[in-house]
Amino acid sequence: MNPVTETFGSMVFNDSVMRQRLPKEVFQQVQRSIIDGKRLDSAAATVVANAMKDWAIEKGATHFSHWFQPMTGITAEKHESFLSPIGGGRVIMEFSGKELIQGEPDASSFPSGGLRATFEARGYTTWDPTSYAFIKDGILCIPTAFCSYGGEALDKKTPLLRSMEAINRQTMRVLKLFGNDQVTSVKTTVGPEQEYFLIDRAVYEKRKDLIFTGRTLFGAKPIKGQELDDHYFGTIKPRVAAFMKELNEELWKLGVMAKTEHNEAAPSQHELAPIFTTTNIATDHNQLTMELMQKIARKYDMVCLLHEKPFAGLNGSGKHNNWSICTNTGVNLLEPGETPYENAQFLLFLCAVIQAVDDYQDMLRISVASAGNDHRLGANEAPPAIVSMFLGTELENILTAIEFDEPYGNTKKELIKVGVHVLPKFPRDTTDRNRTSPFAFTGNKFEFRMPGSSASISGVNVVLNTAVAESLRQYADELEQADDFESALHDLIQRVIREHKRIIFNGNGYDDSWVREAEARGLLNLPSTPDCVPYYLAEKNVALFARHRVYSETEIRARYQIKLENYCKVLHMEAQTMLDMAWKEILPATSRYVRELTETALAKRSLSPDTDCGFETELANTLGALTASAAGKVRALERVLNELPNTDSLTLARYYREHVLKAMDSLRVDIDEMERLTASSFWPLPTYSDLLFSVN
């Protein structure tokens, strides 16, 4: 047997393992729980727990953990051993159904946005049977949701599961209108492409900014960057190839379908893409992927950087979220069909996405907002901060023909009547790709390119699922009351195209004219986190999530607070790191070099008064002036930090953007110029050239 197929999923308690180890009736209960969301009774849970424990122990596990995703953006786990005392100094290995279903971590020690006070410690983790348990580092990891004592969601998984149920509920209503009775459930699917940088561990450990913040706060432009386009898809270096090989092997054991790997555009930048799977599982898998990337990189004396913009002036790293809707019968609802009804169904779901992106462009922007991603959006192949959609010329022309009741194409003379005529066939992926589009149709899915590389994909998919569910709810409400379904369907699609076509843009998102055009269209331009986060509390957004039972208003307000608090904390940490590096490393180093230049000039003149010391004198003067200017800007940065207002989170976030970030940017200009002029033997930090070309 092929070693890959033999080991794939070997560390996962999946359907195959459960079918072998569980009684038939218990296995069927688990399947109903996974597919239909039915609750597993305690007796069945005990049987599952015992089988899971036996399997894990056979694989070398000694502990179990409720593996959850708090609002830190990373995963959390608390390890509990299977040991249970039986007297006489002896133990047995036990794992109960109660331990499987529920745990109790400290809820006050994670971000809660005010949902939990320090003295309100109780929280619960609850087993998510839709995502398989797995073994990692000898620990049986059980994917769980995490909620407070009062039932509020404190994690990324709970709202995602709720949003998946919301879109399932509304999609089923629409499918029944088309006479589709075979489908019993619908799930969204995602394939998240993950970009990252690999640099040598030795140079990384000499940069406090990378260690503390994940990005370089200083750094002059390297002699060579990505100008020659010679890294993209280039030959993979041996050390990187070895890392990728082990990463694949470890991911495959965990059931992660890692498929594509290649060099990205910037030096030392790479990408990994998996085959799509159910959104909930894809989210779990992406968290595992990021964790393993960082862990395995260190085995090869490298460090994996997941920050959205670790190097100024070069490509940032994103996480392209390839999203679609599929039925349990295997039909992709975003794929054109062969019959008039199939095409009408495709058009209706396409319209649902178009309307969702237009109506909730603010929430999509919020879902990718962070201090790190603010640096990335709109630069070096990242999409702009203005949300728009790319459909391609052919599909857009079809929508235009429907909107205006016009013939489509040169040979088709009759009007396209939705639900009556078969649409002109257009093979998948015939349209050009638009790398500047935030939200692009790519044949049978949408590629949302705005998410940052370090973020969980949960947030963006919660918004996508819920917003599209809302479009479908409106359509179902209208069509269920229609006397003539086909006419009502045609009129509905035509109206949606007319009212929401402003969000469709196939042009260059980097062009300055697009900013003006987007404004004329009434689209939002929200370049920074403090610009977009207030929209969290817009009445329509609060109503959206409450209506579909994805977030309560209390949960939305908590996430609003967490977004702003995180933004402020990140910028504060970055500013403090800049100050530390400037005072303790950079300014002393340049001062020593200025002294060296001055002493060299004096020594030359002492030997011969007529000696030309123009080089040393001019450079010493230039660097001396830069050092003095930088020192003044260091004090200015200290001053704005000392003057932080004691105010609400939004005002504080705006202060950080307007004062702290600007002071940081100003200081960087001087420091980067000092780096360019200071001799390598004196400069205390690895340069961009050192970092980007450190892995050989």
Give residue-wise pLDDT tens across range 494-537: 999 999 999 999 888 888 889 899 999 999 999 999 999 999 99
Distance CA 313, CA 309 (A): 9
Helix, strand, coil percentages in the chain from 3-state DSSP, rounded to 5: 50, 15, 35
Lowest-confidence region among 20-34, 417-431, 603-617: 417-431
| Structural domains of the chain, ranges and CATH numbers in brackets | 3-155 (3.10.20.70), 163-551 (3.30.590.10), 566-692 (1.20.120.1560)
Contact 131, 280 (CB under 8 A): yes
Mean pLDDT of 180-190: 93
What the block records as the tokens of 39 is 């609750």
Q: Considering only CA atoms, which of 164, 163, 166, 154 is closest in space to residue 66?
A: 154
More confident residue, 339 or 282: 282
pLDDT at 312: 94
The mean pLDDT value for 368-379 works out to: 90
Q: What is the pLDDT of residues 111-170, one digit of tens each?
A: 666 665 555 556 778 888 889 999 999 999 999 888 876 778 888 999 999 999 999 999
Mean pLDDT rounded to a whole number for the chain: 89
Question: What is the helix (H) or strand (E) element at residue 592, kind and residue range?
Answer: helix 587-607
For residue 215, what pLDDT is reported?
97
Please report the DSSP string for 232-281 in residue order: TT-PPPHHHHHHHHHHHHHHHHTT--EEEEEE-SSTTEEEEEEPPEEHHH
| Residue showing tokens 């990718």 | 368
Angle at 391 between CA 388 and CA 394, to 5 degrees: 150
* Listed range (291-305, 565-579, 595-609, 618-632) with the worst mean pLDDT: 595-609
463 vs 364: CA distance, rounded Å: 6
Per the DSSP assignment, residues forming a β-bridge with 187 are 326
pLDDT at res. 155: 86
pLDDT grade, residue 108 (50/70/90)? low
Task: Give pTM, 2 decimals.
Answer: 0.92
What percent of the chain is modeled with pLDDT above 90?
65
Residues 374-397 have pLDDT tens digits of: 999 876 567 788 999 999 888 888
Q: Which pLDDT band, with edges at 50, 70 and 90, does 89 fall under?
A: low
Average pLDDT rounded to a whole number, residues 194-211: 97
pLDDT band at 660 (very low <50, low <70, confident <90, very high): very high
Residue 272 phi/psi, 5-degree rounding, is -130, 135
